[in-house]
Structure 1
């Protein structure tokens, strides 16, 4: 199957996804296969929270719109043009996907197909339906994809290479189980923000997007702040108040109550605004409804430290205080060429 045919299929998928937003779903008569798929996708979005309590319609729509923006012909061309897949020997690539946020495995799915390989997908039990629906749509508009996409129940077998995402614990299992195959094994990572106290209120509100989007469950969510000695958190908390409605979600509220109680029983010193706690801690991974912070003396020394601990960090958010830092509010809107764990997936797939 030609790469141009695969690319065109994903462009059509982008057109399909562009119809769906939290404000209003608008059916476009020019979109292929709409009569078969439009209302079924609306229903699936509505049902997503019953499949996974964290997948609220708001967050599912956000993920859909992010992919709708990404799946344009220009974006796909800019992404794949540096690679040469013209002489690719088609391999079967297994995917073991996470399920922490909606469609979190879609980039790997897209990468395998756009590089002319076949994909074997083992979805997470937490995100079983959205990707399968989009695959069904792709096959409907391009039937040749049917032989290139397989969803696996049970044990993943018969693959030539694998991309697996999990926790640090499951990564050890993956590394042993997949040791004889080319692989990308992804572990836990977290994102951090560097503040200097000169950020505007608007900057801090945007930082709240990096913290609260998907309830903080993604590796691109900010879970740790680095702040200068003597930093005053008043403006930070005033900006976070824009996200106060997060406490209305029962699962988030339960986590807030539980984690706050654990911190208090352990006699930890907390700052709290009744829906977010912040705690001084050297760890990168904070629990849901909490953000850790750490003081720094010198930005240059902090950047040197972050470079040595890069394997624990997915994104650094700042006003250009760190190399390749992400702007406030942008962590959950990566480009196609912003690779998880900074591992170039297409380069890997071009060499297997």
Structure 2
């Protein structure tokens, strides 16, 4: 299967996905196989929250639109232009996917197929429907892909390499179980924001998106704030008030009540606005409905620390205060070339 044909398949998938948004699902007569797939995908989106209580239509639509934007011809060309992809004999690549946010494993799925390899997929019990549906769609576009995509129910077998995503605990099992195979093993990571008190209201509102999108369940969600000594959180709380309706989601509200009670019973000092608690803590990983914060003495010292602890960090958000930081509001809008854990998946697949 020629490289241009593989790119064409995913460009067509991007066009299909672009029809679906929270504002309106608009059927485009030029999109391939809409008669077979459009209504069924609409129904799947609406049913997603019954499959996983965290997969609200709003968040599923957001994930779909993010991928619709990413899968443009220009983005695919830019992403792949730096690689020489020549696979004479495809390898079988096992994927063990997480299910914390909708379509979280899609980039690995895309990378394996676009590199010319075969994919064996073990989905998370929390996300069993969206990716298989999209796989059926691209097989309809290119039937040859049916022999390159396999969803695995039981034990993952007959693979040449594996990409596995899980917690720090499951990563230890993955590392042992797959020790004789080339692998990428992803562990827990968190994202941070570095503030200096000069951020605009618009930037702090956008930071709320980085915190609350997907209820904070993704590794790209900001779970920790670094602030200068004497920092006032008043402007921050005022800006994120826009997201107050998140407390109306039962699963989020239950976590808010539980985690706030645990903090208070432990006599921790909290800042609280009725839907988010802020706690001073050295850790990066805060529980759902809470964000940790820590004071810094100087940006230079903080940058040195962040570099030394980079294996715990997925993204850094700031107003260009530290190197390699991204703009507020963009943590859950990665480009195709923004690799998880900064591990180049395509390069890995091309060296097996």
- TM-score scaled by length of structure 1: 0.99
Specify the alignment match of 1:109 in structure 2: 109
Alignment map for 1:49-198 (pairs within 5 Å): 49-198=49-198
TM-score, reference length from structure 2: 0.99
Q: Is the CA contact 1:88–1:350 (under 8 Å) kept in the aligned structure 2?
A: no
Q: Distance in 1 between matches of 2:89 and 2:238?
A: 56
Structure 2 stretches lacking a partner, 5+ long: none
- In structure 1, C-alpha distance between the alignment counterparts of 2:278 and 2:43, rounded to whole Å: 38
Equivalence for 1:210: 210
The answer to whether the Cα contact below 8 Å between 2:165 and 2:171 also exists between their aligned partners in 1 is yes
- The aligned runs of 1:1-352 (5 Å cut-off) are 1-352=1-352
**Alpha-carbon distance in 1 for matches of 2:74, 2:147:** 27
Please state whether the residue corresponding to 1:317 is helix, strand or coil: strand
Q: Distance in 1 between matches of 2:24 and 2:97?
A: 30
Once the 2 structures are TM-superposed, how far is the Cα of residue 81 of structure 1 from its aligned partner? 1.2
Shift of 1:34: 0.2
CA positional deviation for 1:240: 1.0
Root-mean-square deviation over aligned CA pairs: 0.6
- 1:87 CA drift (Å): 4.3
**CA distance in structure 2 between the partners assigned to 1:178 and 1:321 by the alignment:** 39
Measured in 2, the distance between the counterparts of 1:150 and 1:77 equals: 26
Q: How many residues align?
A: 352
Q: Which moved more, 1:87-96 or 1:293-302?
A: 87-96
Give the deviation of 1:5 after TM superposition.
1.2
Contact 2:11 2:71 in 1 (8 A): yes
The answer to whether the Cα contact below 8 Å between 2:87 and 2:117 also exists between their aligned partners in 1 is no
2:87 and 2:116 in contact (8 A); partners too: no
SS in 2 for 1:336: coil
Q: Which one is further off, 78-87 or 311-320?
A: 78-87
